């Protein structure tokens, strides 16, 4: 629903910021990585991810598209909620987290507060394939892979395919062809579903 908020930073703390957009203040939860970027700015463009729950509507903010894409991948893992994903991004930089997952470094992931052995294993198992080919220091491959996969998944669901089966098929295709665009992903998935 929301892509970004741009305006004056009324308040910046290590866990959240308040951004004034034309007289409306939005409280946005952030990671320590984003805090280090926003703490010195008076005005900013904050990339956001909007979450609607029974008891709350939450905005999570990010300084970079790479961090937001990684956050979205993390919350797609069973057992990882938004606050746990934010804790992971606060404990390690995006590059460090991607490297830990790609290298199956259980000790590093398990060292994050709130992450146990089983959760660390699940993160590695579910995200290794999509992150192993991502070069750190650039946000483009991660962002593009995530966007193409989500668009293809949405299209396949619209066609009536089961979400889990479609997602597994797309992951398998991306493992073999990480440069596949949305159209290519859909065509290849239709052949195997």
Rounded to whole angstroms, the Cα distance separating 158 from 9 reads: 40
State how far the Cα of 156 lies from the Cα of 142, in Å rounded to an integer.
21
In tens digits, the chain (193 residues) has pLDDT values of 789 999 999 999 999 999 999 999 999 999 998 999 999 999 999 999 999 989 999 999 999 988 998 999 999 888 899 999 999 999 988 888 888 888 888 899 998 888 989 999 999 888 887 774 444 444 445 555 667 777 888 888 888 888 888 888 887 887 777 677 888 888 888 888 7
Predicted TM-score (pTM) of this structure: 0.68
Taking the C-alpha atoms of residue 120 and residue 107, their distance in angstroms, rounded to an integer, is 9
Question: What domains, with CATH codes, occur in the chain?
Answer: 4-62 (2.40.50.140), 66-131 (1.10.150.20), 140-192 (1.10.8.10)
The maximal CA–CA distance of the chain, rounded, in angstroms, is 52
């Amino acid at each position: 629903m929301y892509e970004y908020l741009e305006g004056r930073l009324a308040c910046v703390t290590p866990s959240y910021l308040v951004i004034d957009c034309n007289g409306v203040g939005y409280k946005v939860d952030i990671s320590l990585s984003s805090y280090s970027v926003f703490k010195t700015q008076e005005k900013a463009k904050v990339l956001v991810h909007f979450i609607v729950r029974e008891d709350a509507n939450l905005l999570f903010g990010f300084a970079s598209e790479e961090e937001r894409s990684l956050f979205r991948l993390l919350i797609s893992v069973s057992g990882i909620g938004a606050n746990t994903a934010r804790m992971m991004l606060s404990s390690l930089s995006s590059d460090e987290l991607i490297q830990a997952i790609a290298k199956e470094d259980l000790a590093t992931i398990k060292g994050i507060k709130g992450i146990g052995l089983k959760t660390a294993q699940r993160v590695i198992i579910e995200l290794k394939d999509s992150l192993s080919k991502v070069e750190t220091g650039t946000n483009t491959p991660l962002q593009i892979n995530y966007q193409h996969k989500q668009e293809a998944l949405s299209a396949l669901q619209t066609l009536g395919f089961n979400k889990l089966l479609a997602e597994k098929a797309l992951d398998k295709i991306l493992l073999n062809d990480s440069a596949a665009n949305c159209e290519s992903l859909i065509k290849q998935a239709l052949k195997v579903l």
